[in-house]
Homo-oligomer: A and B are copies of this chain.
Amino acid sequence: MGTAVRHPLSPRLDHCPEGLPREAYFDSAWYDREMRTIFANQWVLVGRAADYEAGKMRRATVGAAQVIVVRDSAGALAAWHNSCPHRGSELCLKDEEEVGKLIRCPYHAFAFAASDGRLVSTAHAVPTDDFDASAHGLKPVATKVWNGFLYLNLSADPGPLWADVPLDALNNWPMDSLVTAHRWESEIDCNWKAFWENYSECLHCPGIHPELCDLVPVYKRGIMGQSEALDWTPSDATGPNLRVGAQSWTMDGTPCGPIFAGLSEAEHRMGGNFVTLWPSAYVVAHVDYVRAVRIVPIGPEKTKLIAEWYFTPQTLAQPGFDPADVAAFAKIVMTQDGAASEMNHRGMRSPSFTAARLMPEEYEIYRFHQWVTAQMEIIV
């Protein structure tokens, strides 16, 4: 606990600020406000666009909303709130259903164009003249595809993907050719922000993640990269280098297939790249495969994690290849992170807890808290 000496370019904080107040993790009014602001204004990752098949409608969760994503036979994507403008019924009753040119409400058979949501038929009902059909189409949800990922946005006036994420981060990865080959879900008993906070620092790595620290030696020091070290200067090599001999996040560090051809020297040295997409997901791009993890709030004290693993067809075609073998390593780490987030959440219930006191190494948590606070002011 001596005095911290940090280089001016270090990401470390120059003071130890307070975290969010206790109610941010438990209060249902706070949570509802997050849904009405953050999750109603931001682009939310809902999986790979390619996994939304033509001729199908599929449900996705965006904050407090159930959304249906439809891909028509021509390949165009559209998304709508899963609620009929007539009496509010669910339109899509299962996780996935067949759909043609029309989305027909199962309750009163009102029909809407799958492509543009306009009301096409009120079935047996004959509205009076005051009824303006053009004002009663499906309620739209904005869509965007980036690197093969589908994003939805509930806002009527959505902004650009992210102001603060380098959109070229995955440019050297063959994202469009990757295939979803494994999926893992877990429900954890904590606020969604507790999981993000855990993701945002590595002080917990030495105690919580022995296998990961063995693979990424710098994590043993409780930091996420060389630039956090107190003795760091910009002339140092940086990045979470893997242990000697290891090239990827697999059980033994061996790549699970051919190395991606287009990566830069720096990307090789870093062992890949991390892309953080608040509030809904992060993407970890290794030199041989890519993984995305979605953080889906269920309630103030419940969160769902959805992880997917993506590979090239060549990798998948290798004799005896099993994506579950690759996924096993990150599942160990995510299970540890889930348990840590739950234990953090339980402890924050204490009446003695008023707010965290952040360490300089928790600069990403600090940035996240400032982002959350600012976003909660934006009600549309």
Q: Which residues of A contact B (CB under 8 A)?
A: 1-4, 13-16, 19, 35-36, 40, 63-66, 81-91, 93, 106-109, 119, 121-131, 133, 136, 139, 154, 197, 203-204, 206-208, 221-223, 230, 340, 343-344, 346-353, 356-362
Which of B83, B353, B360, B361 contacts A352, CB < 8 Å?
B83
Contacts of A35 in B (CB 8 A): 351
Residue from the set A131, A136, A139, A356 with the largest chain B CB neighbour count within 10 Å: A131
CB distance from A314 to the nearest CB of B (A): 40
Whether B204 contacts A126 by the Cβ 8 Å rule is no
CB distance from A290 to the nearest CB of B (A): 29
Contacts of A19 in B (CB 8 A): 87
Whether B361 contacts A206 by the Cβ 8 Å rule is no
Q: With A and B bound together, what is the CA distance between A91 and B346 in angstroms?
A: 10
21 chain-A/chain-B pairs, Cβ below 8 angstroms: A1-B126, A1-B131, A4-B126, A16-B128, A16-B130, A63-B351, A65-B352, A82-B347, A83-B347, A83-B348, A88-B347, A90-B343, A107-B208, A107-B340, A109-B207, A123-B207, A124-B221, A124-B222, A126-B359, A128-B360, A154-B351
Q: With A and B bound together, what is the CA distance between A109 and B208 in angstroms?
A: 10
CB distance from A25 to the nearest CB of B (A): 9
Residue from the set A91, A223, A343, A361 with the largest chain B CB neighbour count within 10 Å: A343
Q: With A and B bound together, what is the CA distance between A340 and B107 in angstroms?
A: 7
Instruction: Taking A87-B197, A123-B206 as given, write out 7 further A-B residue pairs in contact, using a Cβ cutoff of 8 Å, ordered by the A residue number.
Output: A1-B119, A36-B351, A83-B349, A83-B350, A89-B348, A124-B222, A126-B361
